[in-house]
Structure 1
């Protein structure tokens, strides 16, 4: 939970910066950061996204930009390459299945942002792992596993903090 709180703080700080200086939210004009938002999809049913970011600004007839973040505090430091790759691909598939593609956003206060009763396409899903001592020790393993995960699960971004 501490990692999630730290990441939410970082996202809120990022949102305050000029768009060109943002690390995470550069695709937004006016990002609105919401935590633990109930989202529903066929299959996984009701889940709670760690962070949902919504464009607050005008969208000019386009679908409102929505991105989701899934945070993982998982000790990957001692894993062999094949185990690391398998774990990351499993986490990525789960994040995309639960928080990607199209979501029915269930929080009442967010309903005014969406025309179709809360249904919204998700432009990007980000899987963010806690770094530091939990990060794989071998940089070559990490780079290869991230690349394999992106190839195996297109449409998902993998980051380490």
Structure 2
């Protein structure tokens, strides 16, 4: 009861004194609504793109837009992966080869989706944001991953650790896409040159 009364006072005052300084208050209703809207938009984009990729995987190899490097791709959403440097993370989408393959490991790619309003950024900020996203995607979902989903273990010939051939960073387009198409292309080309193993796309 006391906690609830204190929180109500904090909301009414708009600030909260803590250890002699003013700090950010609890989010007010408008703030929560905005945050919820961003989360909902991001989840919708993830689900839509996961379905797009599954539909792409079902096409003949020559007709695929995204998964032409696979013979028989298996598309899995929100897969637990582990690295010593970053711990347990969940890849938005992991694609693994189900068909016949040579060598000790199947082809594996990971995909990270971003629903960011890139239209608000100037060229310098755009490059900085996309570069940071690409580095994070490579750090969390690239190089070598320990795949933790039990249903994928039968596809892993040499244990659960596999090399990742490519990390794709896919941004939501539409109204969120930068208005300066040339600046966007420069940023994407620059990132792919500097951050090896990451491909950047905007839907």
TM-score bucket of the superposed structures, by smaller chain: over 0.9
Name whichever structure is richer in helix by fraction. Answer: 2
Larger-gyration structure (1/2): 2
Q: 1:135 — aligned with what?
A: 177
1:145 aligns with 187
Unmatched runs of 5 consecutive residues or more in structure 2: 1-42
With the length of structure 1 as denominator, give the TM-score of the two structures: 0.97
Instruction: Note the C-alpha offset of 1:62.
Output: 4.3
SS at match of 1:158: strand
**Whole-angstrom distance in 2 between the partners of 1:60 and 1:81:** 43
2:87 is matched with which residue? 45
Q: CA deviation at 1:115?
A: 2.6
**Structure 1 residue corresponding to 2:133, chosen from 88, 91, 99:** 91
* Aligned match for 2:103, one of 53, 58, 61: 61
Q: Secondary structure at the match of 2:170?
A: strand
What do residues 19-68 of structure 1 show as CA deviations (whole Å, max 9, x unaligned)?
A: 00100000111100111100000111100000000000111334200000
Secondary structure at 2:168 match in 1? strand
Superposition RMSD on alpha carbons, in Å? 0.9
1:108-148, CA deviations, whole angstroms, 9 ceiling, x for partnerless residues? Answer: 11111113321111011000000000010111111111111
SS in 2 for 1:127: strand
> 1:27 — aligned with what?
69
Aligned length: 161
Answer with 111-120 or 40-49: which moved more: 111-120
Q: Tell me, which stretches of 5 or more residues in structure 1 are unaligned?
A: none
Name the SS of the counterpart of 2:101 in structure 1. Answer: coil
Runs of 4 or more, structure 1, over 4 Å off, are: none
Matches of 1:23 and 1:96 in 2, distance apart? 22
1:115 alignment partner, SS class: coil
**Do structure 1's residue 81 and structure 2's residue 123 form an aligned pair?**
yes
Q: Is contact 2:50–2:93 with CA below 8 Å preserved after alignment? A: yes
* Larger RCO: 1 or 2 (CA < 8 Å, sep 6+): 1
Q: Which residue of 2 aligns with 1:2?
A: 44
